[in-house]
Structure 1
Amino acid sequence: MNRLSIGVIGLGVGEQHVRTYLNNPNCVVAAICDFSDEKLRSAKEQFPGIKLVKSAQDIISDPEIDVVSIASYDDDHFSQVVSALDSGKHVFVEKPICQTYEEMKQIKRTWDSKNKIPLFLACNLILREAPLYRWLREQIKQDALGKIYAIDGEYLYGRHQKITEGWRNAVDNYSVIEGGGIHMIDLMLWLTGQRPVTVISAGNRICSEGTKFRYNDFVTSIMQFESGMIGRITANFGCVHRHQHVLRIYGTKATFLYDDAGPRLYTSRNPNDPGQKIDLPPLPETKGDLIPDFISAILTEKDITDETEMIFDGICISAACDLAVKTQKREMITYL
């Protein structure tokens, strides 16, 4: 079987993309792009023999490249995804896939127009690959938690300087929901198989007041589902805390909690019951762990349409969350 030719855009998280592709016998990394001379010099030392370019379009328009792996800044994702799909490339992109509902509509139109090829499109919503959440998903499928009536997901960023001093303060319309809360939104969709109908949100920027960061650093959203389930997703970028995801799932048979005390499952209301500790990692080994399955899907022509549609749903939800902050009203969530 011929190996897939890969082009990687961006050398932040993208460096982990490169290493994952290099370790895959079905891939060859043909080119790497970054606008930073320093990062390109480092890449030349780490990845000798790979073509280095400063323009993303050099990778996107290269007829020899099969897969474009995008790890650029958030506000570049939309144009690069659409351009890569238009050029007939499979696309693996860091989250968020885009910044607005209208951009998501355009990406879906472009992707739909290429479905006869077909082109594969995936987003690096990496928590799906964590052993803890893969176990939890199976527990939910097996009805171990009973009917789920509430799910709380908190994205504690704990990296204040990255929003006040890094590239995020220069990006127009930066959203902490799309930049981090999207991981918890995706977990909510992926674990429960349900989509919310409405959302109400609130936010503030107290932690970044007086800095260059122009947007809310804290946003919390409450969502209602047709089943009656309630979802609450919080993106907390200014918190005095280490980087961590907090998840609570409440079912009629059991409660799952993951916080500073570690993951555990409670199956009793007995106050003396310490709960069952779950000894599984809450994070994948690397940020490239979803890539092997993506490459396998391309080579075997496996249908991953449902997974791609869930990516679209996540942006529709996050866009509605941000809209609800502005309007201070309950908003209907419009799906594509």
Structure 2
Amino acid sequence: MSFLAAREGVGKTLLSAALAWQMTRPDGRGEFLGQPVKRGHVIYLNTDAADGEARSVRFWLEQHKAAYPDGDMDGVTVLESTGAGLTPEELEQLLTLAREKEAVCIIIDSFMATFPGLDSNKLDQAMRPMLALRAFAAQTGAVVIVIDHLPKKAANEREGDRGVMGSTGKTAQARSVHLLTRVPPKEVEGREVLRWEVRKNSFAKSGYALGIEVDRIEDEDGRVSAVHLEVCDLPAEEDTRDTRGDRAKAAVLSLLIDKPGQPLTHAELLATAIKGGNVKERSAKQAVKEALGTLGAQVEIMQLPKRGAPRVYTYRPEFALEDMPPIAQDVPAPVASRPLEEVLTW
């Protein structure tokens, strides 16, 4: 499960629709930002549309279709908002649909509109749908992409500095977090360029950023008829902010979350922070402290009956994924023996 977060109007739907369309193209033809993508059915759950008609999603799919006509519009199922968000019963219906379609990707746009009754700033409330979505991904084998928002930047703050809006528990539960911001046109000769930053990735270094140029192709009447995305260089940044602490914290979070139920010593967490962020011991200790604070009560702390009474930390989410029915690797899962609402409610 991954997060893609940006401020309103930056291009979240544009990019997610681009990925969805590329996945409908014939085998070996689909590519996203220069990387090959797997062909398969995509379900796009759009709860963020003010009109409830998912017009922006359909608009962008048509624009991408004009640029790459070999895709298949039937390869994307767009589900529209009823204005009430997603209930646990509807999530179970979505699970059934994903299995029927053999979906390989589920896009949820957006977190706040899909779960409007929750206070996403509170860890206990934000964790409920996050754990349900992780279970959903495990049961379907599909990639789950959750679109969210960035908070409005404060004075002397760079866009995205505070990460995804709401509790940091959301970030902790995601496999990867991607932040999308707009590069000021004056810095790129008036072009439309987006900055895609990988804030957290369990499979690679975090803090990586790339530029994406949006090329809008106009027809004879000056209306946008197609859109094309191209990876480009980002302008040199004078920002000297050290992100090594963020990387160290992300490394510790990933270690704990990826090993639920497994006791980890403070020394192990410290070593992970030092290696993950390339920081010294003092900064590593701070990163460990912040990571433990992010997970809060989900981390069980015990002292061993040894010399110096060393502490061990065990990540224990409210509902562990191992309590879900077993899932065979790369094999469609059978229908769960118990409904999702019995596993998790909100």
- Same fold, TM exceeding 0.5? no
